[in-house]
A = this chain, B = another copy of it.
């Protein structure tokens, strides 16, 4: 049983450091998973990650992938999303240097997901204001938000019944 989840976010410390700081042991499996998340395209499922990890480390089990992803999610290192295709999707919270906060366009037909960063500044500004008001109003400690737009991507729109 891990000592504690969700040790404070951010900080200049690398994952390794944060991990150990939280009382976790660093293993090959965990390192491989973090590497995959850092390098690969975004929005991977547990199975996606599992397949990529086992290419290099055939010993790692799917179970551990799930377990690691839960820890990372609790620590705020990765975000866990539900885009409606029946499996959870994960992506690294921050690319270390890139302040690449973004939101999503989700195609309800083909489940494709588009990251967008336009308008983000305005959105985030409004969110900040809103958060402040809601926190006080509902005595609620907000530490995350989710914004997604649903609709049809270009391709699905074209294929749609006229």
Give the CA-CA distance A130 to B139 in the complex, in Å.
Answer: 29
For A157, give its contact among B4, B82, B141, B154 (CB under 8 Å). Answer: B141
- The interface on chain A, measured as residues whose beta carbon lies within 8 A of the other chain's beta carbons, has a size of 38
Q: Which label, helix, strand, loop or mixed, suits the secondary structure of the A interface?
A: mixed
Q: Is residue A134 within 8 Å, beta carbon to beta carbon, of the partner chain?
A: yes
Chain A positions 143 through 162: 1 when the CB is less than 8 Å from some CB of chain B, otherwise 0: 11111111111100100010
Closest chain B CB from A49 CB (angstroms): 20
Chain B residue numbers with a CB within 8 Å of A148 are 145-146
Q: Which of A9-17, A19-27, A34-42, A116-124 contacts B (4 or more CB under 8 A)?
A: A116-124
Q: Is residue A105 within 8 Å, beta carbon to beta carbon, of the partner chain?
A: yes
- Contacts beyond the supplied A140-B153, A147-B147: 6 A-B pairs with Cβ under 8 Å: A105-B138, A105-B142, A116-B137, A139-B153, A139-B157, A145-B150
| A contacts, CB < 8 Å to B | 4, 82, 105, 107-108, 114, 116, 118-119, 122-123, 126, 129-131, 133-135, 137-154, 157, 161
